[in-house]
Amino acid sequence: MGAKLSGPGGQGGKTIQQNSDINVTPFVDIMLVLLIIFMVAAPLATVSIRLDLPPATPPDPTVEVEEPVYITIQETGQLFIAETETTLDRLPADVCAALGGGACREERVFVRAQPEVQYNQFMEVMNSMQENGFFKVGLLNEDIE
Question: Angle CA(46)–CA(47)–CA(52) in degrees, nearest 5?
Answer: 135
Please state the domain extents for the chain: 69-139
Q: Beta partners for 139?
A: 111
* Main-chain phi, psi angles of 7, to 5 degrees: 115, 175
Could you read off the pLDDT of 92-128 as tens digits, one per residue?
889 888 888 777 778 889 999 888 888 899 999 999 9
The helix (H) or strand (E) run that includes residue 43 is helix 25-45
d(CA 98, CA 108): 12
| Per-10-residue mean pLDDT, the chain, length 145 | 55 71 90 94 82 84 80 90 90 87 82 88 91 88 65
Using the 8-state DSSP alphabet, how is residue 82 labeled? Answer: T
Q: Is the pTM here over 0.85, yes or no?
A: no
69-139: CATH topology is Nucleotidyltransferase; domain 5 (3.30.420)
Residue 117's alpha-carbon distances to 65, 74, 101, in angstroms, are 31, 7, 29
